[in-house]
Amino acid sequence: MLDLNRLKALHAVHTYGSVGAAADALMVTPSAVSQQIAKLERETGARLVERNGRGVRLTDAAGLLAEHAERILALVETAEADFEALRGEVVGRLQVGAFPTAARGMMPQALLALRRLHPDLQILLNEREPERMVREVARGELDLAVIQDWLNRPMAIPEGLSKAILLDDIADVVVPAGHPLAGQREIELATLSGEQWISSAPGTICHDWLVYTLRNAELEPEITCMADEYPTHVALVAAGLGCAIIPRLGRAALPEGVRAIPILPRQTRRIYAVWRSDAARRPAIRAAVEALREVGRDLS
């Protein structure tokens, strides 16, 4: 009989293209993945991997077995979901992802509520960027993820995933207190022509959105500082090094020397929970989504 964990290891190598990447996805060592595949070779009597330069490649037999493994793993997940739904108990283990500001601004409240209401539910939180989490939920590496997109630039959600809106999060422009416009109650982006900007790194959803939004306002962004976290953006603004657009979720009280001004038209990002539609019957998924919705209602 084929061992499920060994099939999972083979499927991961097939999906991610290398033993190292498969080990990262499964949160084990590369040696553990190699050992599982070696045992699977002995079970099947077939050669599954071949040396390919400094790495390995899967044989045709491995590719065929990996395709069967994908269907088997999907059936196992469906069976687990059906069994949990039959029992009606919020139990088991959830792998949950959240982008950084949601991990800071929503997840502590949600996790505390779930721990209080459902002590037999185990949750492992992973901080990730939204695009990566969507892929990981679709592949079954995460059970649930909190992601974001912007109303003027929505993200496509693949087939097979379900989503629930948790919160609409408004963003403000943040400027040094000595800025000529710092005393304004509201501001149009077009009035910020010629400003220097602080942003996340290119390729991130926040950087790409900032460039898209400024250009839509007929502003060519001059980005002079890049940092991953919004608190760093605020510190750079406080030093007088530029302006930033920062959402309100998870934003700490601004320090002296910094002003946040609402933007016209409002710049809003929408925050969702996403999960695999096939797993929607799991009471644990439903409980986690409801806890996140409750946090979203409190923050609205």
Q: What is the mean pLDDT of each run of 10 residues along the chain (300 residues)?
A: 81 82 81 86 84 77 82 74 70 92 95 96 93 89 94 88 96 96 94 94 91 93 93 95 94 92 94 92 93 95
**Token pair of 193, please?**
């022509």
168-270 fold: D-Maltodextrin-Binding Protein; domain 2 (3.40.190)
Kindly give the interhelix angle for 60-87 and 283-299, rounded to the nearest 10 degrees: 70
Rounded to whole angstroms, the Cα distance separating 233 from 252 reads 12
91-165+271-299 and 168-270 share one fold: yes
> Which CATH number is associated with domain 4-85?
1.10.10.10
The confidence score (pLDDT) of residue 47 equals 86
The confidence score (pLDDT) of residue 85 equals 61
Count of CA atoms in the C-beta half-sphere (13 A) of 157:
20
Q: CA–CA distance from 108 to each of 117, 121, 267 (Å)?
A: 14, 15, 25
125-146 burial code (b ≥16 CB/10 A, e <16):
ebebbbebbbebbbebbbbbbb
Binning the chain into helix, strand and coil, the percentages to the nearest 5 are: 45, 25, 30
The confidence score (pLDDT) of residue 139 equals 82
Every domain of the chain and the residues it spans: 4-85, 91-165+271-299, 168-270
Rounded to whole angstroms, the Cα distance separating 120 from 94 reads 11
The confidence score (pLDDT) of residue 260 equals 97
Strand boundaries in the chain, DSSP class E: 49-52, 55-58, 92-98, 121-127, 144-150, 161-176, 187-188, 196-199, 222-226, 244-247, 258-276
| CATH class in words for 91-165+271-299 | alpha beta
Strand partners, 121: 92
The confidence score (pLDDT) of residue 64 equals 86
Q: What is the pTM of this model?
A: 0.76
Angle 245-248-250 from CA coordinates, rounded to 5°: 115
Q: Closest Cα to residue 274, out of 152, 128, 69, 169?
A: 128
DSSP letters, 115-143, are HHH-TTEEEEEEE--HHHHHHHHHHTS-S
With a CB cutoff of 8 Å and minimum separation 6, the contacts of 33 are 9, 12, 13, 19, 22, 23, 26
